[in-house]
Amino acid sequence: MNLLLRADASITIGTGHVMRCLALAQAWQDAGGRAAFAMAEATPAIQARLSAESCEVVSISHAAGMTEDAGQTIALAGERESDWIVVDGYQFTADYQRALKAAGFKVLFLDDYGHAQHYFADLVLNQNASASADSYLHKEAQSRLLLGPKYCLLRREFAGWGRWQRDVSAVCHRGLVMMGGSDPENLTARVIEALALARLDGLETTVVIGGSNPHFVMLQELAAKSGQKIRVQSDILNMAEPMAEADVAISAAGSTCWELCLMGLPALLVDVADNQTEVARELDRRGCAIRVGDRSVSAQTIADQLKRLVGSHELRQSLSQHSRELVDGNGAVRVVSVLRGNEVLRLRRARVDDMHLLWEWANDPDVRAASFSSARIPWETHVAWFTEKLGLDVKVTPEKPRPEEKPGRKRSLILIAENENATPLGQIRFDVRQDGEWEVDVSVDQSMRRRGMASQIIRLGVQTLVKEGGNVRVHAFVKAENVASVKAFERASFMRMRTDSETGRSRDAVHLIYPGHSQLGH
């Protein structure tokens, strides 16, 4: 399935529209689809990032939002046999939506404050906490609204962090500054000035700017003269890690807000654009962050609010808790499920009555072919294996074995993936290794394959394991020729280590690791 995303990025308009579209594109890829971007404006840094994410970038040669733009987008969608066109940007009007719909395409329209006079799109997505149906009274009857942080589009780098628990330190050691991908008014310089005024000598601050920011050298010089421990970094690809390391943040009130909420990072927000004001106010009202003002806010005001935040452990604990309650990190998966008409997955622990189903799945011809031991598994062998994994006693009757739970430490976690109707769709199993780390096995019901479900199950399974076991390190071994499974693990944030022959495995294995986050805590 193919997705065409129409969004632009420049120093003037920023990179937020494209970056949240990238989050959607990644989730679409994780579900087995292909994604391409149609762009009238793009900075070199954004083009490089999209290329690195295996997203094709196609140039739109007409002014954004104009009739000619719509015509060229329609032509591109037709050439790529796109299943959906995603549109994100304030220059795209009701007429633009109507043109795409008239051409026969399904349209997802990303919105922030109801700027279009009428909505013709099949889906209208507003991920803001203040999103309300009242902003979309003028829409087609078939237009469906996806409203609120439940649908926040977070990039793949944040997968697996939904269950991570932040330790809100009594003393702040590390700060983080993020004023947007391009920061056209160079508000980052004002924040560095505020850090100098605050004189928090125990605070080491990382200032992150986007690759589209032209002020890198000047900001480095300003940081060096500040008298504070400040380092400036450009175009970091994995923002989850510095957010996990930080104790406090100062940020623009754009899409980064939802990343901060997921990570439970106490933050000061500056609405650097008019469309961010309501976002910052609503997060302040909900106790998820502190709004310090708009782009006219003074360095002294930022400094005063930062000292207040750093000085109150109780305030930081409260902000962290409320923000984590608002965002769970699964928004992009939910949106893709709606686009594809797929089931929304949830995991539950395996029960005794799953034993026969797991046996059938294990003996599926494709599953056996993908296993390192391809022989069919006898029922008696499966019963003994299953009861040992779940810590059960087996009582044999003339009819069939009847397992009963016995006390003792379970060495495995077996989870069943279900849809909202409780129909089993697949399984994932984690076994404790001799070194105390984990090894994973996953399989999907035959009827649900080739839909990208395996990577979703892996991601949700790791989240569950992290919730129950804290910081974890998980190993996966896949036959080298099983390219689809290797990609499924990589899409779920596993890293390929090497190809080697493992003891007890008859074929070469690709070794992948989910590294855990133990190195990021305080």
| DSSP characters over 211-224 | TT-TTHHHHHHHHH
Q: Select the more confidently predicted residue: 338 or 258.
A: 258
| pLDDT > 90 in the chain, percent | 68
How confident is residue 457, by pLDDT bands cut at 50, 70 and 90?
very high
pLDDT of 508 = 76
Comparison of pLDDT for 504 and 232, the residue scoring more: 232
What pLDDT, on a 0 to 100 scale, did the predictor assign at position 488? 92
Res 504 pLDDT > 60: no
The overall average pLDDT reported for the chain is: 89
Residue 61, SS3?
coil
CATH architecture entry for 158-326: 3-Layer(aba) Sandwich (3.40)
| pLDDT at residue number 393 | 60
* Alpha-carbon gap, residue 211 to 110, rounded angstroms: 24
Higher pLDDT, 421 or 164: 164
8 Å CB contact between 141 and 118: no
Q: Residue 322: which of 256, 265, 268 has the closest Cα?
A: 265
Residues constituting the chain = 522
- Residues paired with 476 in a beta bridge: 512
The mean pLDDT value for 59-78 works out to 96
pLDDT at 113: 87
pTM: predicted TM-score of the whole model, two decimal places: 0.68
pLDDT at 450 over 80: no
Which residues lie closer than 8 Å to 28 by C-beta, 6 or more apart?
Answer: 1, 3, 34, 35, 336, 339
pLDDT at res. 13: 87
- 213 confidence band (pLDDT: 50, 70, 90): confident
Confidence of residue 507 (pLDDT cuts 50, 70, 90): low
**pLDDT value for 226:** 96
pLDDT in the model for residue 408? 44
Question: What is the per-residue pLDDT across 356-394, written as a single tens digit (0 to 9) for each?
Answer: 999 999 999 989 988 888 899 999 999 999 988 887 665
Closest of 457, 449, 427, 301 to residue 356, by C-alpha: 427
117-126, 159-168, 465-474: range with lowest mean pLDDT: 465-474
Q: Which alpha helices (DSSP H) does 16-154 contain, by range? A: 16-30, 44-52, 67-79, 94-102
Collapse the DSSP code of 479 into the 3-class scheme (helix H, G, I; strand E, B; otherwise coil) and give the result. strand
pLDDT digits (tens, 9 = 90+) for 8-45: 999 888 889 999 999 999 999 998 899 999 999 999 98
Give the model's confidence band at 498: pLDDT under 50 very low, under 70 low, under 90 confident, else very high.
low
Q: How far apart are CA 338 and CA 447, in angstroms?
A: 19
**86: which 2 tokens?**
């995603």
Q: Into which CATH architecture does domain 343-520 fall? A: 3-Layer(aba) Sandwich (3.40)
Q: Quick one: average pLDDT of 311-320? A: 98
Percent of the chain at pLDDT exceeding 70: 91
Strand partners, 198: none
**β partners of residue 513:** 475, 495
Would you say residue 332 has pLDDT above 60?
yes
Query: CA dist 233 to 151, 206, 210, 354, Å?
Result: 30, 7, 9, 50
Tell me whether the CATH fold assigned to 2-154 matches the one assigned to 343-520. Answer: no
- The reported pLDDT for the residue numbered 405 is 47
Summarised one tens digit per residue, pLDDT across range 269-307 is 999 988 899 999 999 999 999 999 999 999 999 999 999
pLDDT computed for residue 407 by the predictor: 45
Domain positions in the chain are 2-154, 158-326, 343-520
**Coil vs helix vs strand at 110:** strand
Which token pair is 132?
């309300």
Rounded to whole angstroms, the Cα distance separating 4 from 36 reads 5
Per-range mean pLDDT, top range of 78-82, 345-349, 422-426? 78-82
> Is residue 341 pLDDT above 60, yes or no?
yes
When pLDDT is cut at 50, 70 and 90, the band that residue 343 belongs to is: low
Residue-level pLDDT at 521? 38
pLDDT band at residue 160, thresholds of 50, 70 and 90? confident
What gap in Å lies between CA 191 and CA 300, rounded to an integer? Answer: 9
Using the predicted structure, report yes or no on whether residue 411 has a pLDDT greater than 80.
Answer: no
Q: What DSSP character marks residue 257? A: H
Fold designation for 2-154: Rossmann fold (3.40.50)
pLDDT at 500: 52
pLDDT of residue 394: 54
More confident residue, 333 or 521: 333
Confidence of residue 395 (pLDDT cuts 50, 70, 90): low
